[in-house]
Amino acid sequence: MNIHDITTVVLIFVVSGVALGIGAQIMDSIYPSITSESGQYAINNTTLALSRVASWLPIIGIVIASAIIIGVLVSSLMPRQSA
Domain contains 83: no
Which range of residues forms the domain containing residue 23? 3-77
Domain contains 10: yes
Domain contains 37: yes
Looking at every residue in the chain, the average pLDDT score rounds to 85
Are residues 46 and 27 in contact, defined by beta-carbon separation less than 8 angstroms?
yes
Helices (H), the chain: 6-30, 37-55, 57-77
Structural domain total, the chain: 1
This model's pTM is above 0.75? no
pLDDT digits (tens, 9 = 90+) for 9-37: 888 888 998 998 898 888 888 888 888 89
How far is it, in rounded angstroms, from Cα 38 to Cα 14? 32
